[in-house]
Structure 1
């Protein structure tokens, strides 16, 4: 689901750097679920007040939620995290390079049952990564371990060994 996680050794030369990206289902499922819950809530509230929603209008709402669940993952920015030799590279609305030596810690944080990786930077910022995430991804632990291994191998910077 959540992008490829190669089993490359952090110090291997010539191998492609791993990259993580959220899968389409990981993006669409919360949106679709939220839309359908909203529609069900609106239907229940209107029924409780004695107002009836025509079946055609209800189907329009449902189809709109389903269409949004399909279109948004396709049209949204392509978020990904790349593990480079000197930088952790975040792609999304814009590109952000974070030098490995500037990262003081990596933390796996659980929010609403979904685990993500949070990067702690030396200037005090905490940057949650959109990928990898445990939602619908059985390989999350392997990907998080790979990320920590890359950071551990490179955090001293090019000057230190």
Structure 2
């Protein structure tokens, strides 16, 4: 799942640099939920408009939903973050690097019951991180603490720590 690719260093100040990535289930669950809800809505609309959907047609919709929820996660980029000594590296669809000293704050945001880390950059941008995320991950709090610990230890200058 949404785990580090290395062991979690104590309080984020040392040890091997961790990387957090979304697991296949974390990508598939929202897709599957959306496809199932879409299928149910389509069936309700067909019934409400006086049309008719046979059991075979419903089975085809559900089968397509399940297959799509298995295939789509394997095709999507591996979203995540890597922590290095000098910067936070955002992965997925490309690489974006943010120097630790350019990060002025980190907060936990809860949207639709799912918690994520939001990075506040000195130029005013707020970037929600794709990983770690609390969906299907009981270790989210520990990972968020590691992330903020790395930032606190590396953000620069003794007056800012």
Per the normalisation by structure 1, the TM-score is: 0.92
Aligned residue number for residue 140 of structure 1: 140
Does structure 1 residue 84 correspond to structure 2 residue 84?
yes
SS at 1:51 equivalent: coil
Matches within 5 A, 1:4-43: 4=4, 6-9=7-10, 10-12=12-14, 15-43=15-43
Give the Cα–Cα distance (whole angstroms) in 2 for the partners of residues 16 and 71 of structure 1. Answer: 33
> Separation in 2 of the partners of 1:2 and 1:113?
17
Aligned partner of 1:74 in structure 2 is: 74
8 Å contact 2:13–2:149 — kept in the other structure? no
What secondary structure is seen at the aligned counterpart in 2 of 1:47?
helix
How big is the alpha-carbon RMSD for the aligned residues of Structure 1 and Structure 2? Answer: 1.8
Deviation sequence 1:25-48 (CA, Å, 0-9, x none): 111011111111111111112112
Structure 2 counterpart SS, 1:73: helix
Quote the residue 1:128 is aligned against: 128
Gaps of 5+ in 1: none
Aligned length: 158
DSSP-derived class of the 1:136 partner: coil
Unaligned runs of 5+ in 2: none
Give how far 1:7 is off: 2.2
CA deviation vs aligned residue, 1:42-96 (integer Å, no higher than 9, x gap) = 1112112221112222211111111111111101011120110000011111101
Secondary structure, in 3 states, of the residue corresponding to 1:146?
helix
Secondary structure of the residue aligned to 1:6 is coil
- What TM-score, normalized to structure 2? 0.92
